[in-house]
């Protein structure tokens, strides 16, 4: 497979309207004028999802995060969220390559961002990629699979094969998109552990929790006190 091939060559930008924002200078203001919400594949990057459920969930998580951040002072938002600049050469180059080859931004537009890139986490390990000036965040695209920092991304091999598109834009729900189920990814983790690729059981458990995300059952704090201790058999 030619990894330099872009899957959506005839892509049309689908913009989400600007939301109402708080004009207070000390609160983050999100701008959607240049937000590209469709999924693409370009070189070693893609922002597809493993299945429909994850794609739909990401939309809900995205807007919940935006609503939450708009109510906070910027300084508090930065302190309490995964909220940081992207200024290393390798990662900046990846972002600009995605903007140019994936979302068809021209050089002039890319230069206008002046390397003011930022990432904000939301949902199940996803990242909003933005351009930040003061308290204004111009949303650019979503790094669904944490591939801007691909060297620290979990399950990278599996993520390279994700094919389910973003539900932010128009999507044909009647089309039979390739989906990867959570159980299949969980089996891969267990197999890696059994084959010695993962040597620490704690790491395996952390990977499974990360994979399941919001679906992971949260036991009550006093679970040990509540469970039935009646002897069985």
Q: How many domains does the chain have?
A: 2
Report H helices in 71-200: 74-80, 89-97, 107-112, 156-159, 182-194
Q: Which residues pair with 129 in a beta bridge?
A: 119, 141
- Please indicate, yes or no, whether residues 69 and 110 belong to a single structural domain of this protein: yes
% pLDDT > 70, the chain: 71
- Tell me, yes or no, whether 49 and 139 share the same domain: yes
Whether residue 188 sits in one domain with residue 82: no
pLDDT of 178 higher than 90: no
Helices 201-212 and 182-194: crossing angle in degrees, nearest 10, is 170
Q: Check residue 175 and give its pLDDT.
A: 67
- How far is residue 228's CA from residue 233's CA, in Å, rounded to a whole number? 14
Do 91 and 190 share a domain, yes or no?
Answer: no
Most confidently modeled range among 112-121, 167-176, 215-224: 112-121
pLDDT, greater one: 72 or 18: 72
Model-level pTM?
A: 0.70
Rounded Cα gap, residues 155 and 160, in angstroms: 9
Calculate mean pLDDT across residues 51-63: 90
* Residue 155 lies inside a defined structural domain of this protein: yes
CA gap 152, 143 in Å, rounded: 13
Residue 155 sits in the same domain as residue 196: no
Range of the domain at 52: 29-159
95 within a domain of the structure (yes/no): yes
User: Do residues 134 and 78 share a domain?
Assistant: yes
> Is 61 a domain residue?
yes
Task: Determine, yes or no, domain membership for 16.
Answer: no
In a domain, 11, yes or no: no
The distance of Cα 223 from the centroid of its chain, to the nearest Å, equals 32
Residue 4 lies in a domain: no
pLDDT in tens, 110-145: 999 999 999 999 987 899 999 999 999 999 999 999
pLDDT tens for 60-105 read 999 999 999 999 998 888 888 888 999 999 999 999 999 999 999 9
User: Are both 150 and 77 inside the same structural domain?
Assistant: yes
For the chain, the 3-state helix, strand and coil shares in percent, each to the nearest 5, are: 35, 15, 50
Q: Are residues 57 and 146 located together in one domain of the fold?
A: yes
Residue 121 within any structural domain of the chain: yes
Residue 141 CB coordination number (10 Å) = 25
Domain membership flag for residue 221: no
Of the pLDDT bands very low, low, confident and very high (cuts 50, 70, 90), residue 223 is very low
Considering the domain architecture, whether residues 191 and 100 belong to the same structural domain is answered as no
């Amino acid at each position: 497979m030619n990894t330099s091939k872009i899957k959506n060559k005839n892509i049309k930008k689908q913009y989400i309207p600007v939301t109402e924002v708080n004009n207070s200078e000390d609160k983050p203001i999100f701008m959607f004028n240049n937000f590209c919400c469709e999924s693409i594949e370009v070189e070693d990057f893609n922002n597809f999802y493993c299945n429909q459920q994850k794609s739909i969930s990401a939309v809900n998580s995205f807007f919940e995060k935006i609503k939450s951040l708009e109510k906070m002072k910027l300084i508090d938002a930065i302190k309490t969220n995964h909220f940081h600049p992207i200024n290393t050469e390798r990662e900046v180059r990846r972002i600009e390559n995605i903007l140019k080859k994936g979302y068809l931004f021209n050089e002039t537009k890319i230069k206008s961002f002046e390397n003011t890139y930022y990432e904000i986490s939301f949902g199940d390990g996803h990242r909003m990629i933005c351009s930040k000036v003061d308290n204004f965040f111009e949303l650019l695209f979503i790094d669904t699979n944490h591939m801007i920092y691909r060297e620290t991304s979990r399950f990278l091999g599996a993520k390279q094969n994700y094919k389910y598109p973003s539900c932010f834009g128009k999507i044909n729900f009647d089309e039979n998109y390739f989906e990867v189920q959570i159980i299949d990814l969980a089996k891969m983790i267990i197999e890696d552990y059994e084959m010695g690729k993962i040597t620490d059981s704690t790491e395996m458990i952390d990977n499974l929790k990360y994979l399941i995300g919001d679906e992971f059952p949260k036991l009550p704090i006093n679970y040990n006190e509540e469970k039935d201790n009646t002897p069985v058999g």
